[in-house]
Amino acid sequence: MVPIPKGGLIISSDGKTATLQMENVAVVDQPKWPALDAVGTPAIMSFKMTWKATNEKINYDDPQKQFRVEGYSATAQLEAQVKVPSIGFSWKSDPLSASHANFGIIGYEVNGRYYSPMK
């Protein structure tokens, strides 16, 4: 988990769409993850990702785990470029519109000390 640079995240005023874009993020290419002996290689990633709410509402409320989510199922798309300089490898995805995620959600969450059970 990393902080998002200023301007990297744009959320619409109704909270139903979001675009996250970051350049040259230092990551570790770890192809064998989660194997215990997975070797990690420094890599650089740039990407753009979008979420768009569908009409399907989502409402999770778990008093035991103290979290509540109110939002929507979402479509998500991604375009990215990755470079692994030490092995001379780079990769670029097809345009954003050519990808999709089989699971997506966008909404508002409270948990922990901010959570209070629904009455």
Binding site for another protein (CB under 8 A): 1-4, 8-9, 11, 15, 18, 20, 22, 25-34, 40, 43, 45, 47, 49, 51, 60, 62, 65, 67, 69, 71, 74, 76, 78, 80, 82, 87-94, 98-114
In this structure, the number of other CB atoms found within 10 A of the CB of residue 68 comes to 20
> Widest CA span of the chain, in angstroms?
58
**Strand (E) or helix (H) holding 83:** strand 67-84
Q: Which one, 63 or 91, has the nearer CB to another protein?
A: 91
Q: How far is the CB of 55 from another protein (least distance, A)?
A: 17
Q: How far is the CB of 41 from another protein (least distance, A)?
A: 9
In the chain, the amino acid numbered 115 is Y
Under DSSP, is residue 96 helix (H, G, I), strand (E, B) or coil? helix
Q: Which one, 88 or 119, has the nearer CB to another protein?
A: 88
Q: How far is the CB of 81 from another protein (least distance, A)?
A: 8
d(CA 119, CA 111) in angstroms, rounded, equals 16
Q: Which one, 79 or 119, has the nearer CB to another protein?
A: 79
- Determine whether 20 is exposed, middle or buried from the number of CB atoms within 10 Å of its CB (0-12, 13-18, 19+): middle
Q: Which one, 28 or 57, has the nearer CB to another protein?
A: 28
